[in-house]
Every structure is written in C-alpha cells, then in structure tokens.
Amino acid sequence: MPEVRLPEVRLPRPSGPHPAGVRDIEAGPLLMRVWYPAAADAGPPRPYAAGSERDLLLEWTARRNPAWPPATTTALLAAALTHDHRDAPALPGPHPTIVFSHGADLYPGQNTALMTELASHGYVAVSVLQRGGGFAARPDGSRLESGEPLFAAAVDLFARLERLTSLGADPDARHDWYADLWENGRIVPLVGQWRDRMIAVGDALAAATPDGPFGDLAGVCDLARLTYMGMSLGGSAAVSAAQADPRARAAVNLDGMHLAPDLFGRPARVPVLGLYADFQGAGHHSDLFYEEFGRTGLRGDVVRVKVAGAAHRDFTDLALLPGKQRLDHLGSVDGEGVTRLVGALTLAFLDRFVEGGTSGALPLGDGAELIDVSHVRAWRGRGTS
C-alpha cells in the first residue's frame, strides 16, 4: 500500500531583520510567553507545541471542535516548526513593547506567527495567560486550563448575541442591548479582570531586574512605547487596558467585540487599530465605541478594517491549517495571506502611531477595507443626547 503523506503546516517566515527569541516566564501569578528581537540565533527552531502544551491543544480540539480530525488539523500545527529560538540572548534595547492577550478558551501561543513577525521588526511581545480563561503549560510541565466561570459567562453572552443579531443596525435598540449587558451580563466582570492582568504585565516589566525571572529582558522593554493588543475577548481587554494605563501609546484589537462600557460613545485616549472578520450590512459591533457618536469615523487614528473572507479564528495561527475552508469557524480567506496581512497592517499602524513614522494610508488591499461607520454620525437617538 502506498504511503499516505499528510499535509504540513508552514508558519510564514518573518520579514524583519532580527532573529526572534522566545521564552516562557512565570512571575508570581503571571504566566507569559515572550517573543523578542534576539542578538543571535540560538539553536534550531522549536516545534509549535510539545508535551503538555500539545496535549492541551488536542484536548481543546476535541472539546471545542469535535468535527475537526486532529491528525490533519491541530496535530499538524503542533508539529510545525516555528521561526523563533528558545532562550536566545536578547538584543540590547530599549525596544517598543506589546502586551498581548489571547481569546477566550485559547492559549498564549495562539498568534505565534504574528508575535514572531513583530519580534523580527524589533518589538518585544509579551503574551499573558488569562488564568481561568485559557490554557497553557507551565515551565515545569504542569497544566493550567479554562474554568467554569468563563464557560458560564460565554453561554450567557452567546444567548445575548443571538438577540443582538436580530436587532440589525438600529442604534437605539443596540444601545439598550448594551445597557442590559453591562447591568446583567456575566462576561463583564471577566473583561475587567483580563484588563487588569494585562496592566499587571506592564507593572512587572517596569519592576523587572536582571536577576529576576525576566533575566536579560529586564531593561530592554521601553514602556514609553507600550501597546496593548489582543484577540477576541482579549482584544476588548486590550483596548480597555490602553484606556486605563497612562503608559500606553496604542491599542490593537483583533476581531474583539468591545464588552466594557468605558469606551461606549467616548473617545479613546490612544490610537486604536481594529481588524475584524468579514460581515455584510451596517451595524458592526465596533461602530459605537472609541469615538463620540457624533464624530464616529472622523478620527484618523481610530482605524477599523474588515478582511474579506475572514472568520473569527482566522486572526490566530489556526488560519494556517490545511484545508481550513472545510473547517467550521474558519473562513475562505487564504491562511498565509491573512496572517501576513494582519502583520503588515499592525506594523504599519505601530510605525506611525508609536514609532512616529511617516503618515500615509495603511497597506489595505488583499481584501482589507475600511469599515463605514458614517451611519452612527447621523444617529439622533437617545444615545446621542
């Protein structure tokens, strides 16, 4: 019988001038995976997930995606070789710094391709485990997993989202939906906890010393060039963290619905980039946030982009799975293409608003287009008084 060769998962090669280092750090209650510009390569690239981390990824597949055959999906991802180098020496800094949060019931390494790309361009990217809201293996191999409070909050939120979908683009009805969410929604306290944990990472970086858990990463993180970034629930928490932390210079939200009241019809303190899955019609979930209602869409530093053919999980490494168009929760967009597009848009945004680079249009195209939110400016309902 001829041998059946399984397809491979190939993570895109980073485009920046620096090799990327990676290490796992546990500092008190914070469990983090850190990507950073390395002074030199240190050994061969690592597999995407091994040991307990691989086990957790395959168990997640069985729990959340029972129709996915693991052998041709996440097992292939786990076996893929990354383009980062474990425990490579850090390139002396200071370097602009990103604090990242995974999505609900996901994991700190869920955007390894993007984090490696950012590190290759000189960024330190610190991805923190939201304890109880995701899964990871600790440095000693023991496991941390999602918990019942997250699952209960998610069930409540999904039921509410069904009603929100039925409301269409009516701003008054959506205004009332959000008011009820913030009074009664079980997800709202979790968003605050996730925000606070992200800010705690910034505090830990500020206090880091070379003889502590951060080692030679202490002192290379420039918190005057701090960005908060996240995906899904982590994206909502990231923008809230940037709003609350005066050190922050920008926020990046990867397809996260904003679930806190802090920026409802209120101007964001920092520039915000939102990259979102494809949708049809008006009434996108980002359009009532980050700006005053009467000026929505007028700020040049609040950028909302949708990606044609992209679904929610296309903003993670899961987009790289072979044959993903046949898998639920993933869209028709090319996996490597959307991964490179998210990296290019993020880098261009940060170069302009954090690094002070030249102005100009972000690199749209390849299915990316600005979201029209002009209908909110024309709203004269009760939320605009």
pLDDT confidence bin for 74, thresholds 50/70/90: very high
Retrieve residue 56's tokens.
Answer: 């957790």
> Is pLDDT larger for residue 193 or for residue 65?
193
Q: CB neighbours (10 Å) of residue 161?
A: 14
The tally of CA atoms less than 13 A away on the side-chain side of residue 269 is: 15
Which pLDDT score, from 0 to 100, does residue 360 have?
A: 67
For residue range 17-48, what is the model confidence (pLDDT) as tens digits?
Answer: 999 999 999 999 999 999 999 998 777 889 99
Question: What residues contact 107, with CB distance under 8 A and at least 6 apart?
Answer: 53, 56, 57, 60, 129, 134, 135, 136
- Local structure of 109: helix, strand or coil: coil
Confidence of residue 1 (pLDDT cuts 50, 70, 90): very low
Nearest to 128 by CA among 28, 269, 242, 39: 28
Output the six-digit token pair for 369: 């287009």
Per-residue pLDDT averaged across 342-356, rounded?
A: 95
Phi, psi of 127 (to 5 degrees): -100, 120
Q: Check: CB of residue 267 under 8 Å from CB of residue 243.
A: no
- Name 303's bridge partners: 273
Q: Tell me how far apart the 2 most distant CA atoms of the chain are, in Å.
A: 73
Q: Is the pLDDT of residue 381 over 70?
A: no
pLDDT at 383: 56
Percentage of the chain modeled with pLDDT above 90: 83
pLDDT band at 6 (very low <50, low <70, confident <90, very high): low
* Model pTM score: 0.95
Q: Could you read off the pLDDT of 247-305 as tens digits, one per residue?
A: 999 999 999 999 999 999 999 999 999 999 999 877 788 899 999 999 999 999 999 99
Residue 101 parent element (H or E)? strand 95-101
Per the structure block, which two tokens stand in for 177? 């939906």
Q: Which residue has the tokens 């030679």?
A: 216
pLDDT-derived band at 171 (thresholds 50, 70, 90) equals confident
DSSP 242-263: HHH-TTEEEEEEESPPP-SGGG
Compute φ and ψ for 24, nearest 5 degrees.
-100, 130
Place 49 in a pLDDT band, splitting at 50, 70 and 90.
very high
Residues 295, 298, 299, 304, CA torsion sign? positive
Amino acid identity, residue 67?
A
- Asked whether 131 and 32 are in contact (CB, 8 A), the reply is no
What is the pLDDT of the chain when averaged over all its residues?
93
In this predicted structure, the answer to whether residue 85 has a pLDDT above a threshold of 50 is: yes
Query: How far apart (Å, rounded) are the C-alpha atoms in residues 224 and 195?
Result: 19
CA distance 203 to 290: 25
CA torsion through residues 219, 222, 223, 229, sign: negative
